[in-house]
Amino acid sequence: MSQARQREVTSAITGQRYRIFLGVPEGPTPPGGHPVLFALDGNATFPSLALMARTVGWRAKATGQAAPVVVGIGYATDKDYDVARGRDYTPPSGEGTPPGEGGADRFLDFIEQELRPLVHAIAPLDPKRQALFGHSYGGLCTLHALFTRPAMFHTYIAASPSIWYRERAVLAQYEPFRQRVAALPTKPSLLLTAGELEQPAADGGSGSRNPEAAKRRMVDEARELAARLSSAGSLARVQFQLLPHENHGSAMFPAMSRGMEFFVG
């Protein structure tokens, strides 16, 4: 993969300034364009995902897998995370949406209308091989994108998604989603992951005295959503993967590895 590039862009849609990290595979562009993985929280996620993509490229002759372009969508800060993610990654939840939240639709418009054409001008993209990765609030945004814009990506990777947000507001889109996806000629795929330690053990083990974690049901919510989607047959593929011995922070790293494998495999 060629040396990573960075550029900063200010969105006319969200008004936010973003730092975009771009890793493009070496060699000629495939006839149909490059597969591409868009990653939220790019300041934190891009370095690991870019390395994983390079590894795919190194092994391409043996595996036949094409290394993707990796686009890290970050913020103009030296920190791993920015408070603006609380607006960009959360879905609107009606009149009760708190100030500074509920901007996911505008953020997805930014990706679709501004960022994707910018990346395509640098590295031609395969319109049929595009993925979105997000962790925590980013995973919530990924699910919101799947439910409201199922044709926007080929693969959705929701790591430790904050389904609990605003009384599980994201799940209100489930039935409209089923109608949207039924009309698509090609169904998208979804990988859901959660760390084993993100939810208190029912037997009173590790974390059992954390009532907030128990209420959020991070593991069960992701597992149950995967089962619901699998039973409905709405998607080309749907998987839930429990990540042993991982907490909410550490689960992001194996989730990126599993997500890359799920996308390019």
Q: Sign of torsion, CA 60 63 64 66? A: negative
Whether 136 is catalytic is: yes
Q: How would DSSP label each residue in 203-262?
A: TS-TTTT-HHHHHHTHHHHHHHHHHHHHHHT-SSEEEEEEETT--TTTTHHHHHHHHHHH
Residue 93: DSSP 8-state: B
Q: Which of 34, 135, 154, 248 is catalytic?
A: 248
Q: Which of 144, 154, 162, 198 is catalytic?
A: 198
Q: Which of 11, 101, 135, 136 is catalytic?
A: 136
Please tell me whether residue 192 adopts helix, strand or coil conformation. strand
Whether 198 is catalytic is: yes
How many angstroms separate the CA atoms of 78 and 75, rounded? Answer: 8
Please tell me whether residue 74 adopts helix, strand or coil conformation. strand
* Proportion of the chain in helix, strand, coil states, percent, rounded to 5: 40, 20, 35
Q: Which residues are catalytic?
A: 136, 198, 248
